[in-house]
Amino acid sequence: MSAGDDKGAPPDDPWARWRKPGATAAVDAEKRPKRPADTAPPAAEPPRARAASAPAPRGPRPGAAPAPRKEARPSVPERPARAATPAAPVVAATLPAGLAREGVRLSKVMSERGICSRREADLWIERGWVFVAGERLTQLGTRIDPAAEITISKEAQVDQAKQVTILLNKPVGYVSGQPEPGSTPAVTLVTAESQVRQSGDPEFKPWMLRNLAPAGRLDVDSTGLLVLTRDGRIAKQLVGEDSQIEKEYLVRVAGTMIPDGLKLLAHGLELDDQPLKSARVRQLNEDQLHFILKEGKKRQIRRMCELVGLQVTGLKRVRIGHVKLGELPTGKWRFLRADESF
């Protein structure tokens, strides 16, 4: 390579021979040391608001069938606002004569009038045997005007005739109610052989013993009149909470009565922390008292006598209401007659 070819080229530029004229100045500029002004960063541009970019819609997958085009639905005109409908006035339904929404349950009215017991009333209502103001009622729980007219059908009257009531002269040693261990219930004495027959009595049938229950208690050590009945009206009349039926007793006693004992027996004693109802008590002789009570707590007369210093040695019930024991022999029974009532 001749010295003329290298003339004017920088001695350290191996590519000088291939450069175009003027390129040497550029190379010299690159090799020239930079000044501080040359290295200063360009002036910062004012920040630009970055527009929110929506994601690019995805295209169909390769090989996927093109989605069917949805047809534009025709625009539906808006419905006009519906005018508010005025509320219908509340009209009270007209109830048949005798019925009342705020009245008294039919079965209760029947029981209070003595037509039958509540249990019997419910049974008759279900069977359609009860009429209020001439209308047949079959719905349990129906409320009526307490003064409404109530009638029952012939079927109910026949059914009621089967509700027999038996009067028994109970001997000592028999319990009046549920049998206790080692005791015998008084109802076992009611047999065809022990019946005292009366004119007009129905024929005794074993089914009459079904649901036959004592209406009131008589202690195992006591004797006298015991009422056994299938009639709920009579049971309520004799042992109901509001019963005012009198029970009369002859009582044999031993011991010495405390001063004013008769007055205390008549009024002023308490049993089970409750005052007793007033009673009528008189002394027949030195060992016999006569009691008339309107209640019947367990062993009441015996406990009353103990409070005044006496011990009961014998007790006999001779009357319940208007029905008397009379000449009925001990251990015998008879039907309550149609002309009798308590």
Residues classed as catalytic: 219
- How many distinct helices (H) and strands (E) make up the chain? 8, 18
What tokens does 31 get?
């090799």
CA-nearest of 273, 292, 272 to 284 is 292
Residue with tokens 């006591």: 222
Which value, to the nearest 10 degrees, does the dihedral of the CA atoms of residues 265, 268, 274, 280 take? 40
Instruction: Enumerate the β-bridge partners of residue 143.
Output: 105
Q: Measure the CA–CA gap between 189 and 112, rounded to whole angstroms.
A: 32
156-179 burial string, b = 16+ CB within 10 Å, else e? beebbeebbbbbbbbeeebbbeee
- Cβ within 8 Å of residue 338, ≥6 positions away: 200
Give how far Cα 117 sits from Cα of 126, 233, 236, Å.
14, 5, 8
Q: How many residues does the chain have?
A: 342
Give how far Cα 312 sits from Cα of 273, 305, 306, 309, 315, Å.
22, 7, 8, 10, 7
231-236: long-range pairs with CB below 8 Å, 24+? 231/117, 231/160, 231/163, 231/164, 231/165, 232/111, 232/116, 232/117, 232/118, 232/119, 232/120, 232/163, 233/111, 233/114, 233/115, 233/116, 233/117, 233/163, 234/165, 234/342, 235/117, 236/111, 236/117
- What is the dihedral sign for C-alpha 204, 207, 208, 213? positive
